[in-house]
Structures are given as structure tokens and as C-alpha cells.
Amino acid sequence: MAVDLSQVSTVSTEPGELPATMAAWVIREERHGEPTDAFQLEEIEVPEPGAFEVIVRVMAAGVNFNNVWAALGEPVSVFGYGDHPQYGHHIGGSDASGVVWKVGEGVTRWKPGDEVVIHCNQASYEDPEVHGLDPLAAPSQKIWGYETTWGSFAQFTKVQAQQLLPKPAHLAWEEAASYGLTYFTAYRMLIDQVELQAGHKVLIWGAAGGLGVFATQLCALTGADCVGVVSSAEKGELVKQLGATGYIDRNEYAGMMRRGGETPDEEKARFKESRRFAKAVSGILGDAPDIVFEHVGQATFPTSVLTVKPFGKVVICGATSGYNLDFDVRYLWMRQKQIIGSHFANAWECTKANALIEQGKIRPVLWKTMGFEGVADAHQLLRDNKHLGKIAILVGASAEGEGRTVEGPGAIRAEVGA
């Protein structure tokens, strides 16, 4: 049955009761490919909540790169794992704001009608790692709406109760849906993994991007000085507006980027450029950085290890330019530097980070809001690198600005970013 897009912002039931079906953007195994082909609108049965689960009516959803990979079926198809074999479809979307619609057995902290933001980490209650180590260490750990189905590109989503956070009242639905995945990741990296402190000096790659805008704000809030790396003066101005001490345009240091397979002479020239870059970083910060915030990977990692101060830390959560990293390890051991891997955040970290948004101390940075019809196109923009920042999707909300119940600083509207 064709989905009537004009009806997506209305539902036929009151909180506490679920309708039989919902509109959803669905990826299926047989149509892996470009996002505009892989994502199709379908009418799907609304799932019932299991024990400690909650069904949330999605008011707005946030777009992330993970569902470009889900569409492409690369580097692996999502259909081989998580709950995909059970349901046979993938409904993506790892960021959302919405209203609790129905709670499962055992849920006591939330009730139908509560307004929430959803964090994207799931793990089984039965794994012992959840109860003393960290849910990110659990064998069952999954990213909701990527490694699992029932994500946020649908009228309703199914989540674990521990994924719910209070929606900041001063944010519109689309603003509240835009920050979770990237902000909570940046929070764990800086606050917990490398224990960011006042007076620290920090180098942030991609400082105007999804992670970088929050890393920059966290440094400013903590009293740490940071320099952001960007690829244009406009992005540099955004980063300064967010609290960076200064910025470096990476186009001026194109020669430092590691491509792989360089000859010894090329490697020598690249190293010289990395040194020149490290000098520029120290020039802005007054000293070498204590911390390097990494997610670019192959192209920048040798420069990160070189640039960080002796005994300093490189914290990394991604590898946009390639995941096979090589670097001169002498600079690591002789200077006793550390490399720290990080992945998303646990519910406690998400709660602490969300409180800073509720207090208006950290603000979402939003580029564009699209209607529900825009889900496939939004992912194609990311796939084609034509996006300029974070994109939010209206689902239950019928217009931008809805959902704000008190005055306060909303999102920063970015003309640039990513």
C-alpha cells in the first residue's frame, strides 16, 4: 500500500495505545545500493514493546553517516546480525526526539506522554559487563538504528528504556533530534577517556564537523584551549564562534596527509610538512597539545602522533579517510604518548552530557531540516559529500520550531560544517 506522506505527522491513537501499522523508510537486503535506491517508503507493523522496552512516537530524527553504510551494504551488510534476521528489514536512524507512547513490562521511570531524546547504545541486561564494567564492553552491545532495526526513520521506534533521556524543553523537536550520536561520542572521548581539564591544550580534527562542533564546545566549557582543523575560512569562523582559540585550514598543509604507499623521499617530504603543521599548532596554543581529538584516521594519524606533546594522548573513534593506520612508532614510545580508542557512550555519560544541553551550556549545531519525504535524499547528500552540516528530519512534527516549551538558546544555525 502506498504511504500517504501528508498523514505522517498524525497518528490515530492516544499515548498508551499503538496503531496497527506505521509509515517507515525501509532498507531490504535485495536493494542494497545508493541511498536513493536502498531506502523505500513502506507500511510496516508497529512492534510491541518487550520487557524493559519502550515504543516512542518519533517527532524528529537525526541523520548520520552510519545509515549510508547500511544502504550500501558496506563494509558489511547489516542483515547478517543484530535483530535483522528476526525481522528481515532495516529501519535505520540512530538519533531521535519523541513522545513515549507505550512502555513494556518492568518500565517504571517513563510513562506514556513523556517527551524524550534517545541515545543509541543498546546492550543486553543479562551481560555482566553492563553491571560493573561498561555496556560498551558487553558482547551484546549494538548501535540502535544501525546494527538493529526499529530505528528513527519511522512514525514509531522500539528502544530499551535505558536509552531514554529527558528532552531539553527549550529545544524544538528537530534540534533535540540532531545531537545525540555525535555529541555523546565526543563527550566520552574528552571527558572520560582523556579526562579533559582546564588548562589543557587540544587539537581537534574536523572541528566544524558532527563530532568537532561538540569537541570544540566541550573544550571551551571546560576551560581548555583548542585549535580546530577545518577546510575553509567560513568553517574556521564557526569554530571560533564555538570557542576555539584559533583554526588551521588544512588546505595549507595538504602535503602532510598520509596516502599510503609513499616512496621514502615522499615520506620525508610529508614528514617535513607534518612538522610545519605541528609548529603552527604550538604557535596558536602556546605549546604542543596535551590531547589530539582524532576520527580522520589514515590521512592524519601520523601527524597526530607527532604533534601531541610528550606523555600526551591521541583519542580516536573513527577513520573517515581509511582504517589501516601507520606511523613512526618511535615518536610514540620515546615520548611516552598514548593512543586511546573510544566508541559512543554509556547511558550515564549520555545523561551527564544531556544535562549540559538542558542547561544551555552546550548547543546543537544544525544545518538543515527536511520533511519525512527527505530521508533517502538526506543520506544521498552525505554519500555524495554535498552536506554542509547536521540534517534533521521532521516525522511527527509538522513544522520546524514545534516542541519548544520554554525560552532558551536553541541550536546554532550553521551555514557551514561537516
Of 46, 299, 356, 362, the one binding ligand NAP by CB under 6 A = 299
Find the helix or strand (DSSP H, E) in which 370 lies: strand 368-370
Is it true that the peptide bond before 75 is cis, omega within 30 degrees of 0?
yes
Q: Which of residues 244-273 bind ligand NAP (CB under 6 A)?
A: 250
Of 211, 244, 353, 362, the one binding ligand NAP by CB under 6 A = 211
**Smallest gap from residue 331 Cβ to ligand NAP (A):** 19
Q: Which residue's CB is nearer to ligand NAP, number 25 or number 69? A: 69
Does the footprint of ligand NAP cover residue 65 (CB under 6 A)? yes
**Smallest gap from residue 109 Cβ to ligand NAP (A):** 25
Closest residue to ligand NAP, based on beta-carbon distance: 209
**Smallest gap from residue 219 Cβ to ligand NAP (A):** 15
Does the footprint of ligand NAP cover residue 235 (CB under 6 A)? yes
Does the footprint of ligand NAP cover residue 303 (CB under 6 A)? no
C-alpha 367/C-alpha 413 separation (Å) is 6
Does the footprint of ligand NAP cover residue 317 (CB under 6 A)? yes
User: What separation in angstroms does the CA of 213 have from each of 170, 182, 191, 358, 385?
Assistant: 20, 9, 15, 17, 18
The answer to whether the CB of 226 falls within 8 A of the CB of 219 is: yes
Q: Which residue's CB is nearer to ligand NAP, number 158 or number 250? A: 250
The answer to whether the CB of 95 falls within 8 A of the CB of 151 is: no
Q: Which window, 97-105, 146-154, 225-233, 277-285, contacts ligand NAP (CB under 6 A)? A: 225-233
Q: What is the dihedral of CA 212, 174, 47, 185, to 10 degrees?
A: 10
Give the amino acid at 399: A
**Smallest gap from residue 14 Cβ to ligand NAP (A):** 36
Q: Which of 282, 15, 408 is nearest to 292 (CA)?
A: 282
**Smallest gap from residue 316 Cβ to ligand NAP (A):** 9
Does the footprint of ligand NAP cover residue 209 (CB under 6 A)? yes
Does the footprint of ligand NAP cover residue 344 (CB under 6 A)? yes
**Smallest gap from residue 321 Cβ to ligand NAP (A):** 4
Q: Which of 284, 296, 287 is nearest to 327 (CA)?
A: 296
* Other CB atoms within 10 A of residue 28 CB: 14
C-alpha 56/C-alpha 117 separation (Å) is 10
395 Cβ contact list (under 8 Å, min separation 6): 8, 9, 58, 59, 60, 61, 98, 152, 153, 154, 155, 372
Does the footprint of ligand NAP cover residue 309 (CB under 6 A)? no
The SS3 of residue 374 is helix
Count the site residues for ligand NAP by CB under 6 A.
27
Does the footprint of ligand NAP cover residue 418 (CB under 6 A)? yes
The SS3 of residue 271 is helix
Q: Which of residues 103-162 bind ligand NAP (CB under 6 A)?
A: none
14 Cβ contact list (under 8 Å, min separation 6): none
The SS3 of residue 375 is helix
Does the footprint of ligand NAP cover residue 210 (CB under 6 A)? yes
Name the site residues for ligand NAP (rule: CB under 6 A): 65, 181-182, 185, 205-206, 208-212, 229-231, 235, 250, 295-296, 299-300, 317-318, 320-321, 343-344, 418
